[in-house]
Amino acid sequence: MKNIYKIHYIVFFLALFFSKAIAEPTFVQSKSIDIGFYLGLTFNNDGTKMYTVESDKSSDAVVEYILTTAYDISTATVNNTKVVHRSGGVNKFVPSQVVFNNDGTKMFISNHAGENTIDYWSLSTAFDISTATFNEAFELDGQEQRANSVAFNNNGTRMIVAGAGNMSQHRIHEYSLSTGFDLSSTVTHLNTEDLISFQNHIDGVTFNYDGTKMYTITHMNKDGTEAQDLMNQFKLTTPYDVSTLSLEGTYTVSSVSGDSREVVFSNDGSKMFIIDDDNDKVHEFNLSCNWSVIDGACDDPITTSDGGKDILSSIESQTATAKQIAIQASTPVLNRMYWLRRHRTSDQLSNQNIKFNFPNKTIASLAKVIPISEKSNNTLNKLSDSWSFWSEGSVSFGRTGDTSSSASKDINSNGITIGMDKKISENKLYGYALRFGNDEVDIGSSGTSLDTESFSLSLYGTFPHDEERFTESIIGISTLKTDHVRVGGGNRRTGERDGVQVFGSVNYVTKYKKNNFVIDPNIRIDLSYTELSKYREKGVAALVYNKQTVETGMVSTGFTISDILDFDTFTFKSYGGLELGLDFSPSSDATYRYLSETTEYTKAIDQDSKNLRANIGFDLINENGLSIMTIYERNQSDNSHSDTLYLGFGYIPDDNSEYALTFDNDKASLNYNRDLNGFDIKMSSNYNFMGEIPDYGANLEISNKF
DSSP 580-610: EEEE-PPPEEEEEEETT----EEEEE----E
> How high is the pLDDT of residue 705?
54
Short-list 307, 311, 298, CA closest to 597: 298
> How high is the pLDDT of residue 114?
61
Please indicate whether residue 24 or residue 591 has the higher confidence score (pLDDT).
Answer: 591
Coil vs helix vs strand at 518: strand
Task: For the chain, give percent helix, strand, coil, nearest 5.
Answer: 10, 55, 35
Give the span between the Cα atoms of 163 and 189, in whole angstroms: 14
Q: Phi and psi at residue 110, in whole multiples of 5°?
A: -80, 145
pLDDT digits (tens, 9 = 90+) for 318-367: 999 999 999 999 998 988 888 777 665 544 333 333 333 444 444 444 44
Name residues whose C-beta falls within 8 Å of residue 4's C-beta, 6 or more positions apart in sequence. Answer: none
Give the span between the Cα atoms of 339 and 573, in whole angstroms: 10
The C-alpha angle with vertex 680 and arms to 675 and 685, in degrees rounded to 5, equals: 100
Give the span between the Cα atoms of 365 and 48, in whole angstroms: 54
Task: Summarize the confidence of residues 581-588 as an average pLDDT.
Answer: 88
Which pTM value belongs to this model? 0.68
Start-to-end Cα distance in the chain: 97
Bridge pairing between strands 353-357 and 657-664 = parallel
Question: Per-residue pLDDT for 381 more than 80?
Answer: no
Give the type of residue at 10. I
Query: Helices then strands (H, E): number in the chain?
Result: 3, 42
Give the span between the Cα atoms of 393 and 228, in whole angstroms: 67
> How high is the pLDDT of residue 382?
34
Coil vs helix vs strand at 339: helix
> How high is the pLDDT of residue 117?
84
Question: Rg for the chain (alpha carbons), in Å?
Answer: 34
Question: Per-residue pLDDT for 679 more than 70?
Answer: no
Give the span between the Cα atoms of 419 and 390, in whole angstroms: 5
Inter-residue contact 97 to 149 (CB < 8 Å): yes
Question: Per-residue pLDDT for 259 more than 80?
Answer: no
- Torsion region of 362: left, alpha or beta (phi above 0 gives left; psi -120 to 50 gives alpha): alpha
Task: Summarize the confidence of residues 168-173 as an average pLDDT.
Answer: 78
The C-alpha angle with vertex 570 and arms to 566 and 571, in degrees rounded to 5, equals: 45
Name residues whose C-beta falls within 8 Å of residue 136's C-beta, 6 or more positions apart in sequence. Answer: 119, 120, 183, 184
> How high is the pLDDT of residue 187?
92
Question: Per-residue pLDDT for 87 more than 80?
Answer: no
DSSP secondary structure code for residue 333 in this structure = H
DSSP secondary structure code for residue 468 in this structure = T
Give the span between the Cα atoms of 107 and 61, in whole angstroms: 13
| DSSP per-residue codes, 261-323 | EEEEE-TTSSEEEEEETTTTEEEEEE-SSTT--STT----TTTS-TTHHHHHHHHHHHHHHHH
Please indicate whether residue 574 or residue 106 has the higher confidence score (pLDDT).
Answer: 106
Coil vs helix vs strand at 196: coil
The strand pairing partners of 38, in sequence order, are 54
Short-list 338, 337, 379, CA closest to 355: 379
291, with CB counted inside 10 A (0-12, 13-18, 19+), is buried
Inter-residue contact 421 to 431 (CB < 8 Å): yes
> How high is the pLDDT of residue 374?
34
Q: Dihedral sign, CA of 428, 430, 431, 437?
A: positive
Inter-residue contact 558 to 521 (CB < 8 Å): yes
Lowest-confidence range among 112-116, 214-218, 392-396?
112-116
Give the span between the Cα atoms of 212 and 207, in whole angstroms: 7
pLDDT digits (tens, 9 = 90+) for 631-659: 888 888 776 777 887 776 655 444 444 54
CA dihedral 374, 377, 382, 385 (to 10 degrees): -10
Question: Per-residue pLDDT for 428 more than 80?
Answer: no
Work out the number of other CB atoms within 10 angstroms of the CB of residue 619.
22
Give the type of residue at 266. S
Task: Summarize the confidence of residues 221-227 as an average pLDDT.
Answer: 56
> How high is the pLDDT of residue 562?
80
What does the buried/exposed string (b/e) look like for 460-487 if buried means 16 or more CB atoms within 10 Å of the residue's CB? bbbebeeeeebebbbebebebebebbbb
Give the span between the Cα atoms of 601 and 503, in whole angstroms: 29
> How high is the pLDDT of residue 115?
65
Short-list 626, 493, 528, CA closest to 570: 626
Task: Summarize the confidence of residues 225-250 as an average pLDDT.
Answer: 86
Short-list 372, 418, 419, 352, CA closest to 659: 352
> How high is the pLDDT of residue 569?
65
CA dihedral 61, 62, 67, 70 (to 10 degrees): 160
